[in-house]
Amino acid sequence: MSETRQFLAQGRCDASGLLVSAEEPLAGLQLVCGGEIPGAIAIPALRELVAKAQEFKLKLARLIHANDGRDAIAAWIEVEPLGDESCALRVCSWQVGSLPPEDPAAIAANRAAIDRSVAELTARLDPQQNVLSVDTQAADLTDLGKVMALGLGRPWTDFVEIEGGTHEQPMHWRLLDGAIVKIAGSTRNWRASLLPQEVPGSAPSGFELCLCADAPLPEPEQAYSHEVVLPQNGPGLVGRDIAPVLRQPIARIIANAETIRTRMAGPLAEEYSQYAADIAAAGQHLLALVEDLADLEVVESEDFNTAPDRIDLADVARRAAGILAVRAQERGISIDPPKHGETLPAIAEFRRVLQILLNLVGNAIRYAPDNSQVWIRLEDAGARARLIVADQGPGLSDEQQSKVFEKFERLGRSGEDGGSGLGLYISRRLARAMGGDLTIDSAPGQGARFILDVPADLLAQSPTTSTNSD
């Protein structure tokens, strides 16, 4: 009896790790965390401690952290395996404190991440909210996407109906953020989320527009048919049938996990928050893989071609740098794009060149060391327009360079930090489809230089050339 009284509370787990008995306050925390007695341990840190004690058959003692929705709890708990493979739990100390306040900046960042995940249309806007690019896969937004793509340079508010909007457009972005909009051809209600690309001490350099629906798009009746329909001409099975079906549920898994992780739905133990973060990260990886597989199917189809136009590589480079600026800043990496006023006319498809650059600059940010720099440089090579993305990363050996453009090649990196291994393969296929190429120049310890060549716009360059010759 004297040994029993030195503990604040005791409990017992069976051989399978179920909590079969517990005294207060341990029993109360188990119930508040959503568990039962008997039942699976609902306190993540305690569940982990019990699992380790049973695995190694050792008596373990550790300080665990949890919360009951009102207070933060720190408890010193001993777990001792018994002869019948059950475990004795003993609470040695139990301290209650206040939950830490939520960080408004973190809440805003998490809200932005959630909106990006569930958005069914995204667009890049300039500082005046004019459309720079648009992307959507939603069936009821196809017409809107086409109209916006044809109307680049106009305010995004020209293409939608803002509920209750009587002010002259475009309004200040803060008034439009969260506005309910209606879209011709869609029966769903939409919420506009405007995410500013903020630079400390100055006005936003642009915006990301996310249109989020109030409900999923109803599945067509044929989706429930047992009849097997084989792919015909056009996008294949992944791009036409699988990717559209998977995008929305995966995005909602990511959004729900982010809601849990950031405690937007209420207080939550740190361990649960970390589990939700793992779910969100896995969802992001899966969604990126689906997109890459859809792109892969497109670029490998026999009838794939691009829509070349007259573009300015310098302008595309600056836009890519602006899109990825926030991701780079999170690791202290600075992107040095072509200066305003620099131009390099080329013949290529704007959207495909932007896709290539986002991949190249994104890879540079992923693998470059913290607080380093990524450069985007231009070269006029006569009949070729050349763009170079250089980083200060670890560089690649000759053997690695020979494999880097292969399909599913991650150069030994794991799936979590190396993506799908399709980005560079797809980028090179796109470059070659536009009459250009994508190559690499690197050496171990000297960073990497990815070089994109596309046909130059000689007609746009000729006036300049003749002026210089005079």
* Residues sharing a CB contact under 8 Å with residue 188, sequence separation 6 or more, in sequence order: 140, 213, 214, 215, 217
13 vs 21: CA distance, rounded Å: 7
Question: How confident is residue 165, by pLDDT bands cut at 50, 70 and 90?
Answer: low
At the topology level, CATH places domain 4-98 in Beta-Lactamase (3.30.450)
Q: Could you give the residue ranges of the DSSP H alpha helices within 73-199? A: 104-118, 142-150, 173-176
Average pLDDT estimate for 318-333: 84
Q: Mean pLDDT over all residues of the chain? A: 81
State the CATH architecture for 105-218+234-299.
Answer: 2-Layer Sandwich (3.30)
* Pairwise CA distance, residues 278 & 264, whole Å: 17
Does 309-465 match 105-218+234-299 at the fold level? no
Question: Which pLDDT score is estimated for 112?
Answer: 83
Instruction: Give 159's DSSP letter.
Output: G
Helix (H, G, I), strand (E, B) or coil at 129: coil
- CA–CA distances in Å: residue 391 to residues 58, 334, 406, 442: 49, 10, 21, 10
Q: Which amino acid is at 435?
A: G
Tell me the chain's radius of gyration from C-alpha atoms.
Answer: 28
What gap in Å lies between CA 251 and CA 137, rounded to an integer? 13
Q: What is the DSSP string of 28-40?
A: HHHHHTT--SSEE
Give the single-character DSSP code of 16. T
- pLDDT score of 192: 93
Query: Which is more confidently placed, 269 or 48?
Result: 48
**1: pLDDT strictly greater than 50:** no
For residues 197 and 326, the answer to whether their CB atoms sit within 8 Å is yes
To which residue do tokens 């209650």 refer? 96
User: What class has domain 309-465?
Assistant: alpha beta
392-415 pLDDT tens trace:
988 888 888 888 888 777 664 544
8 Å CB contact between 191 and 212: yes
Say whether pLDDT at 428 is over 50.
yes
Q: Where exactly are the structural domains of the chain?
A: 4-98, 105-218+234-299, 309-465
* Maximum distance among all Cα pairs of the chain, rounded to whole angstroms: 105
DSSP 273-306: HHHHHHHHHHHHHHHHHHHHHHHHHHHTSTT---
Q: What's the confidence (pLDDT) of residue 153? A: 79
d(CA 280, CA 247): 14
pTM of the model: 0.49
- pLDDT mean over 132-140: 82
Bridge partners of 439, per DSSP, are: 451
- Give the separation between CA 10 and CA 17, rounded to whole angstroms: 15
Question: Tens of pLDDT along 73-103?
Answer: 899 999 999 988 899 999 999 998 887 776 7
Q: Which residues pair with 312 in a beta bridge?
A: 345
φ/ψ (deg, to 5) at 394? -70, -15
Q: Which strand (E) or helix (H) includes residue 367?
A: helix 350-367
Angle at 62 between CA 60 and CA 68, to 5 degrees: 130
User: How far apart are the C-alpha atoms of 253 and 121, rounded to whole Å?
Assistant: 18
- Are 137 and 244 a contacting pair, CB within 8 Å? yes
